[in-house]
A and B are shown apart, each in its own frame.
Chain A
Amino acid sequence: MYAFEYVRANSVRGAASALAKHEDGKILAGGHTLLPTMKQRLASPSALVDLGSIKDLAGIEQRGRSLLIGAMTTHAAVAASDVVKTSIPALAEMAHMIGDPAVRNRGTIGGSIANNDPAADYPAACLALNAIIVTNQRKIPAGEFFKGLYETALEPGEIIVRIAFKPPSRAAYMKFRNPASRFALVGVFVAKKGSDIRVAVTGAGNQGVFRWKAAEEALAKRFNPKSLDGLKADAGIMNADIHASADYRAHLVAVMTQRAVAKALGK
C-alpha cells in the first residue's frame, strides 16, 4: 500500500482535530474494509486516524428505553451481549450473521454504517429500527443518514459516537447470503413498534439500503406474512450484477420480507 501517516487518537476531539489537519484522512474503525482497499492500492488516504484506543467509544448500555451502542463496539460484542439480546434480540442475531468470527471480532458498528456498503447488514437494522446516529456534532435519524452507495450524511471530520435504538415490539432479520462474500445478496429487517412498521432492505437496492414502503403499508393492515401475498418489489430500483439480476433480487426481497415477518411472529 501507499505510505500514509498513522494517528492513534485518544479522544473523539483529538480524532476530529487530526482529521481536520489531513484533508483526505480516513478513520480506522476496525479496518476490515479500509485496509484491504488500501492494500490493493484502491485508496490512498494521507492519514489514518485510529479510533481503537478511545475507550468510551465502545460499549453497550440500556439507558431508559434506549439501547445505546458505542460506535467502536464490535459485531461480536453486540452478538454476545445479554443487554442487546434482552432489548432487541433480532439485532443480536443480525450481528451474529455478519461475516465470520474474525470479522466480527474486529469489525465495528460505527465502521459498518459509516461505510454504508450497499450489502452491509447494519444499515438495514438502523433503518428498520429508526435508530438515531449520534456524532460528535449532532444526532441524525437513520432515515436521513444513509444517502446512497457508500454515501452518508456525515460531514468531513464528523465522527460517529454511538447509535441509539428504541426497542420494537417485534423484529426479525432474514439474510440471503451471497455465497462468495457472505454479505447480503438481499437482507430484510422488519420491525414493528406499535403501528409503526418498517421494512428495510439491504443488498438489493441500486442506491443502497431502502425502505419497502408498499410492504410496510400492507403489513400495517395486518402484521402477517399473508398480507404480502402477491406483493412484488420493484425490480427497477434493484441492483444487477454478476451475482444476481434485478428481477431475482426483487423476487428475493418479497420472499425474505415474508419470511422475516413470519420469524418476527415466531412462526
Chain B
Amino acid sequence: MTSTGIGAAVRRKEDHRFITGKGRYTDDINRSGQVQAYFLRSPHAHAKIKSIDTQEAMRKPGVIAVFTGDDIAADKVGGLICGWMIHSKDGTPMKAGPHPALAQGKVRYVGDHVAVVIAETLGEAKDAAEAIRVDYEVLPAEVDTSTAQRQGAGVIHDVAPDNTVYRWHLGDKAKTDAAFAAAKHVTKIDLTNNRLVPNPMEPRAAIGEYDTGDGVFTLYTTSQNPHVARLVLSAFIGIAPEHKLRVIAPDVGGGFGSKIFIYAEETVCVWAAKKVGRPVKWTSDRTEAFLSDAHGRDHVTHAELATDENGKITALRAKTIANLGGYLSTFSSSVPTYLYAPLLSGQYDIANIYCEVDGVYTNTTPVDAYRGAGRPEATFVVERLVEAAARELGQDPAKFRRKNYVKSFPHQTPVIMTYDAGDYSASLAKAMEIADYANIGKRKRESAKNGKLRGIGFSSYIEACGIAPSQAVGSLGAGVGLWESAEVRVNPVGTIEVLTGSHSHGQGHETTFAQLVSERLGVPIENVAIVHGDTDKVQFGMGTYGSRSGAVGMTAIYKALDKVIDKGKKVAAYVLEASAGDIEFKDGKFSVKGTDKTADFGAIALQAYIAHKFSGQELEPGLKEGAFYDPTNFTFPAGVHICEVEVDPGTGITRIDRWTAVDDFGVVINPMIVEGQVHGGIAQGVGQALLEGARYSAEGQLVTASYMDYAMPRADDLPSFHVGMTVTPCPSNPLGVKGCGEAGAIAAPAAVINAITDAVGHEHVSMPATAETVWKACQRAPQKLAAQ
C-alpha cells in the first residue's frame, strides 16, 4: 500500500475548497441577465382547480411572465415520469396517474405546483404570486397510509379508483403458509416505518438557460445524476434532444436520494428560459424543501416469523402498505418493492419468504428513495422480528442470530438475491467484543442504581448495493440500464483527468477515485483530477445512489485504466524496442521482462502523443481510454451494529451511551472516508429512530415543515461511534468493493429500537421514539421498573 493508494486514509482533496468557502454550488452561480422564478404552490392537499386568473399578477412590477400548466401543455412538454414499471400480482401494470410539472385541473398535495411567476427579483415574483387568483374546489384529503384504500376514500387519480398503485408480491405464498402452519412458534409484529424528510442542507436549486445562437439549453441543477436528468428531460419530458441539452450538477450539498429525482422546478426553469429569453433561476427555501423534496419511508407493516422446535427460523411473511404520496416520483415504485422485499431474508437462512406490498396514493408529498431506500425498511422488519422472537423464545439475541445466519456462500434466498460473500458470525463476534457485551448485565445494574434503565440492541443488516446489473434490473421493471462509464485521459505530461458518470455530493470521490488511479498507474495523487457532474464533459453516466459509485463507478475507471495500461505497453514496446508481450507495468514504470530497460509512465504518455516512435498505421497516437462497466451481481455489504442506551424513566429521554458498528464493505479504498460515511448513515438512522417524523394534519397540511417542528439530529444528540471492519472481498468486481454509503441508515433504526425495548421491557416502541413515547412505554411496563 502506498501512502496515497488503495487502503490509505488520504485526506480529502475537495476539502481545501470546502473549508475556505470556495465550493461552487448551484445557488452560488449567477448568470448574466438572470431572472427569478417563484412557484405558487397549492395550499390545499386535494382540490380541483376551477380557474386560474393571472391577469393581475402579470401587471405587477418586475414581472416577466406567469405560466400555468396550460402553457406547458401547449408547448407539448410532457409530465414527470416514474421510470420503474411494477406489475401487480394479477399481472396488470401499475396505475401511474398524470404528473404535470405545473398542475392541470387538480392539485394533489400541499406544495403541489400551481403556477410559476418569473420576475426580475424574488420579492417581485412573490408579490405577483399573491395576486394570482385560483378558484379551488376543495376535496376531502387522504393522508393516512393505512386507510387510503378504504371504501369511500376520496379518489386521488382517476386511473386508481381505490388509490392503489399496485398490489405486488414476491415469494411463494403456499409454501410459506405451509411452513407457518407447521411452525412451533410464531412471532408477530406490527410496525410503522416513519415518514422522513431528507433535508440536505443545500436546498434544491436550478438555473435554466437557452442559447438562441445554437439552440442549446443548459441546466445547472442540484442533481445526484446529471446524465439521468438529461435523459429524462430529453427523452420523456421533451424539453430538447440530448445533444441540445447540457446538464451541469456542480458541487451538490448533500442528496441522500432526494436529488436523484427529476422535479417540476428544474423542468419549468429550463423550459421557461427559452420562453422568456433569459436565464431563469430558482432556489428552494426551506419550507418549500419540506413540502416538495420527495420524502422517504412511510410504511405500515404486519410481519410474522416462524421458528421450529430448535429455534431455527423456517419462514417469514409480511404485508406492507407503502405510501407513495400524491404522484409517482422518478423511482418511487421500485423502493417498497424490489429494493425492499428481496432483503427480507436479512442475514438469515430462511427457506420460505412471502411478502405482499400495496403501493398507495395519498394527498401527501411524493415518497421516493431516501438513504437506504427500501433496505432500512426491510432491515427494520427483519431485525425487530428476530429480536422479538429471541426474547419470546427466551434466547440470547446474539446466539439466536448466530444460529440462524447464512453460513455458506453463494447463498440463494427465496426472494431473488444470491448472496455472494460474507462472514456474518465474524462481524457479530467482533462487534460483541468492541461493545463489551459480556458485561452488559453489570452496566445495567450500575444504571439501575442511578435510577436509569439500560438496554442493548443488535442490528444484523444486509443490503443489496452497487445498483446494478442492467439485465437484472431490466427484468424487474427498471426503465434504464444501471451500468457506469468512465474515461481516463492521460495528458502528454503524464497528468490525468478521469471523467466519471458517478457524482460526488459528500462521498469524497475526488479523493477515493484518485487513489485508485494513483495506485494503478503509480502516479502522484496530485497529478490526478476527477471530473464529474457535467454532461458536456463526461459523455455518459448513471449517477450516484444505492451505494453504487464504488462498486460500479470505480470499476468502470478500473477497466479504463486496464485499457490505458495495455495501450501504454504497446507504446512502450516501440520506445523500449521490445515486443509488446514482453512489456511489464509496475509502480509507474514500464519495463522489458528480464532486462533493466524501463520507462516512466509520464515518458510513455509523452511518446504516445508525440508519436515519433511508431507510425499511425501501426498504432493510434494518444493515451485516452473509456469503459462502460455493467456488474454481474448486486454487492452485499453486511454488518452488525450494537446500540446501547440509557433511558431516564422520569422523562423518557433516551441517551445513546455507545455505538458499535462492524461492517463488511469488502475492500476499503479510504478508511477515513468510509468511516465518515458510516457515521453519517448512523446519524440519519438515529434521527429516524429517535427524533424525526413528518406529520400531516387530517386536512393534509404538513405540520412539521420547519426545523422548529421537525427535529434533526444535532451534535449533542449523537454518541461517539466505535467503528470496526471485517473484510470479505466482493467477488463480482475486480476491486472487491461493496459500498458503504447507506449502511448506517439501514442498520441504525432497528438497533436503537431493540435497545430501547430492552431497556424499558416493553415489546414494542414506535419510531420516532420520542421522550414521550418512551415515557409512555415505561408507564406500560411497570414490572420491569419494579424489578430493577
Q: Which residues of A contact B (CB under 8 A)?
A: 1-2, 40-41, 176, 178-181, 183, 242-245, 248, 251-252, 255
Contact = CB atoms under 8 A, between A and B. Distances in A.
Interface stretch (B156-164, B389-397, B606-614, B708-716): B708-716
B724 to A, nearest CB: 29
Contacts of B215: none
Given A41-B126, A179-B691, A242 B709 contact: yes
13 contacts: A40-B287, A176-B771, A178-B711, A179-B770, A180-B691, A180-B704, A180-B711, A181-B707, A181-B709, A183-B708, A242-B695, A242-B703, A242-B709
B650 interface: yes
Given A176-B651, A180-B708, A255-B651, A248 B703 contact: no
Contacts of A255: 650-651
B709 A180 contact: yes
A252 B651 contact: yes
A71 to B, nearest CB: 25
Interface string B673-707: 00000000000000000010001000000011001
Nearest to A2: B127
Contact of B775 (A1, A40, A251): A251
Q: Which of A40, A243, A244, A245 has the most CB of B within 10 A?
A: A243
B718 to A, nearest CB: 12
A135 to B, nearest CB: 29
Given A180-B712, A181-B707, A255-B651, A245 B691 contact: no
A191 B707 CA distance: 32
Interface in B448-476: none
Q: Which of B691, B708, B712 has the most CB of A within 10 A?
A: B708
Interface in B551-574: none
A143 to B, nearest CB: 29
B123 to A, nearest CB: 8
Given A180-B710, A255-B650, 19 more contacts: A40-B287, A41-B126, A178-B711, A179-B691, A179-B717, A179-B771, A180-B704, A180-B707, A180-B708, A180-B712, A181-B707, A181-B708, A183-B708, A242-B695, A242-B709, A243-B709, A248-B772, A248-B775, A251-B775
Given A180-B710, A180-B711, A181-B709, A242 B772 contact: no
A252 B652 CA distance: 10
Interface in B749-788: 770-772, 775-776
A165 B717 CA distance: 34
Q: Which of A41, A245, A252 has the most CB of B within 10 A?
A: A252
Contacts of A243: 709
A15 B711 CA distance: 38
Question: What's the dominant secondary structure at chain B's contact region?
Answer: loop
Contacts of B695: 242
A168 B123 CA distance: 50
A106 B380 CA distance: 43
A180 B775 CA distance: 18
B283 to A, nearest CB: 14
Q: Which of A178, A179, A252 has the most CB of B within 10 A?
A: A179
Nearest to B693: A242
Contacts of A242: 695, 703-704, 709
Nearest to B126: A41
Nearest to B123: A1
Contacts of A179: 691, 711, 717, 770-771
A21 to B, nearest CB: 25
B712 A244 contact: no
A244 B772 CA distance: 7
A242 B695 CA distance: 8
A179 B653 CA distance: 11
Contacts of B770: 179
Contacts of A251: 775
A252 B772 CA distance: 10
A178 B717 CA distance: 12
Q: Which of A41, A178, A180, A252 has the most CB of B within 10 A?
A: A180
A264 to B, nearest CB: 18
A221 to B, nearest CB: 23
A2 B695 CA distance: 30
A180 B707 CA distance: 6
A185 B526 CA distance: 52
A41 B122 CA distance: 13
Nearest to B776: A248
Nearest to B713: A179
Contacts of A248: 772, 775-776
Contacts of B712: 180
Contacts of B711: 178-180
Nearest to B707: A180
Contacts of A2: 127
Q: Which of B123, B650, B703 has the most CB of A within 10 A?
A: B650
Contacts of B126: 41
Contacts of A178: 711
Interface in B238-285: none
Contacts of A176: 651, 771
A94 to B, nearest CB: 18
A244 to B, nearest CB: 5
A193 B650 CA distance: 28
A106 to B, nearest CB: 17
A204 to B, nearest CB: 13
A233 to B, nearest CB: 14
